[in-house]
Amino acid sequence: MRNDASWIAIPLGIIFFASGYWFALKLIAIPSLQIFKVMNIIGLVCDLAGVAILSKFIMSNRKAKAFVVERLAPQLTNLFAGVPTGMVAASFIGPIGPSQMLVRDFSIALQLSLAWPGVFYVFFWTKKTKLSAAALDLRVTLVGSFFLVFVTYNA
pLDDT of residue 110: 86
Residues in the chain: 155
Its sign, for the CA torsion 27, 44, 84, 3, is negative
Contact in structure between 119 and 111 (CB atoms under 8 Å): no
Q: How do residues 45-74 score in pLDDT, each as one tens digit? A: 888 888 888 887 777 888 888 788 777 877
Q: How do residues 77-130 score in pLDDT, each as one tens digit? A: 788 888 999 999 999 998 899 999 999 999 998 888 777 776 666 666 555 554
pLDDT of residue 1: 44
Q: What pTM was estimated for this model as a whole?
A: 0.76
User: CA 122: distance to chain centroid?
Assistant: 10
DSSP string computed for 87-119: HHHHHHHS---TTHHHHHHHHHHHIIIIIHHHH
pLDDT of residue 22: 97
> Residue 133: pLDDT above 50?
no
The CB density around residue 75, as the number of other CB atoms within 10 Å, is 17
The CB density around residue 102, as the number of other CB atoms within 10 Å, is 19
Taking 3-state DSSP, the helix, strand and coil percentages for the chain, each rounded to the nearest 5, stand at 80, 0, 20
* More confidently predicted of 25 and 59: 25
* More confidently predicted of 62 and 6: 62
pLDDT of residue 130: 46
pLDDT of residue 150: 65
Q: How do residues 99-113 score in pLDDT, each as one tens digit? A: 999 999 999 988 887
CA distances from 83 to 31, 54, 67, 154 (A): 22, 24, 22, 16
